[in-house]
Amino acid sequence: MITNRDKPEAYRPGKEGQGFFYGYIIVIFATLVMLLAYGSRLSFGVFFKPMTAEFGWSRALTSGAVTFSMVMQGLWGVVMGRFNDRFGPRFIMTLCCFLIGVGFLLMSLTNHLWQLYLFYGFFAGIGGGGVFVALLSTVARWFVRKRAFMTGIVLTGIGLGTFFVPPLTTWLISLYDWRLSYVIIGGLVLTIGIVAAQYLKRDPSQMGLVPYGQREVERLEPTPTAGGLTLHEAVATRQFWMVAAIFAFVGYCIFAVSIHLVPHITDMGITPATAANVLAITGGVQAVSGIIMGYLADRIGSRWVLGIGLVLMSAALFWLVPVREIGMLYLFAATYGISVGASGTMEPIIVADLFGIKSHGFILGVVSLSFTIGGAVGPFVTGYLFDLTGSYRLAFLICALLAFTAIVLVALLRSRFHSPSVAASQ
């Protein structure tokens, strides 16, 4: 039998200068799916006021659908990650885009609160659960070299989706109404998303290829790059629990700030439009940061980049507590955006570096669940502390301290995955 190693050098993609590598197609369509999936779900805030005005629902009850959707996303991310390891991203992304698209189509028929929780919270939540894990796990399988850089590109889909889809939704609602707007956005996810999903493949071996850069790494490193630990083996290590804690803290900080930053700024007497601009800067800088930090991680390592991101996050959050001037708030937004881009990009890379890619989707799904749990707890605790103290000072200090704790945990991580026998002893 002729293996990839036996084939002529010119046949082995993944080495620079030897033809177009299909992994770049994976990155392009993964970014497109990420844009549609996250852009549509993050446009919920645009529908928020028209729906509450029509039905008279409280903001707490309406926001509860988002919390429920996050819980579904976290739980089903584990399942979808496992399915991606077995069936590949084409099936998973087709299913996810179908669920999100149908959920949005059904939202146009909403007349009762339970329908909001079912259509957006349950259907769109489950659909969203597979997107992050499956797409980034797939990119990790296609690239050994440039893995972090390509991950950063795919993650710009979240920033681009946030940049394009909510304004599009606002325009559609102004032209028609919120019900027809749900139909249009849902239709875009169904058609474009499902078509894009058909170009995704689980790993290069399905096309007789090898991951980009694998041959070069094999010549330089005696340790195989395509192995790794199962989830059962990974959870037996201290490494896994430190990684889970790191991203739980990151999720706590990111969602606490994203939900409460605008209220915090308007409490200072600054206009809502200016406050929204500060939040928008964090999103725009995050998209650019993801690419730059991914490029940097390929050169200095994912742990260093994650550490840099967390240092910036902790410093920005400590800075947020006393700052009152609008210029300083913009500086905070830029610094914080860099930190979010760095930490988000490094999640799948850290998992691949520490545990390999054998069960990358399954392990990433569990780590992402910890991120989601932190993201669900952060906004609630932050709001509760504000109600208790009348200020966000204590809440943001806690965020800063959690980011600092994550820095310490990153410093304790080891750099490479080990064999199951070694891992079990850690």
Interacting residues of 370 by C-beta distance below 8 A, sequence separation 6+: 244, 245, 247, 248, 251
The tens digit of pLDDT for each residue in 199-238 reads: 998 888 878 888 888 776 656 555 444 567 777 888 888 9
Is 372 within the bounds of a domain? yes
Residues 232, 186 share a domain: no
Residues 238, 195 share a domain: no
CA 69, CA 76: separation in Å to the nearest integer?
Answer: 10
Residues 157, 52 share a domain: yes
Residues 111, 42 share a domain: yes
Angle (deg, nearest 10), helices 393-412 and 360-389: 150
Residues 240, 196 share a domain: no
pLDDT level of residue 7 (50, 70, 90 thresholds): very low
Residues 199, 240 share a domain: no
How many domains, in total, are found in the chain? 2
Is 212 within the bounds of a domain? no
Is 209 within the bounds of a domain? no
Residues 250, 198 share a domain: no
Residues 117, 232 share a domain: no
CA 116 to chain CA mean position, Å:
24
Task: Please give the mean pLDDT across all residues of the chain.
Answer: 81
Phi and psi dihedrals of 211, rounded to 5? -60, 150
Residues 235, 199 share a domain: no
207 in Cβ contact with 201 (< 8 Å): yes
Residues 413, 341 share a domain: yes
| Model pLDDT, residue 59 | 61
Q: What residue numbers bound the domain in which 388 lies?
A: 227-424
More confident residue, 264 or 113: 113
Residues 350, 287 share a domain: yes
Q: How far is CA 55 from CA 60, 235, 374, in A?
A: 14, 46, 31
Record the pTM. Answer: 0.72
Residues 95, 169 share a domain: yes
User: Within 13 Å, how many C-alpha atoms sit on residue 98's CB side?
Assistant: 8
Phi and psi dihedrals of 225, rounded to 5? -100, -10
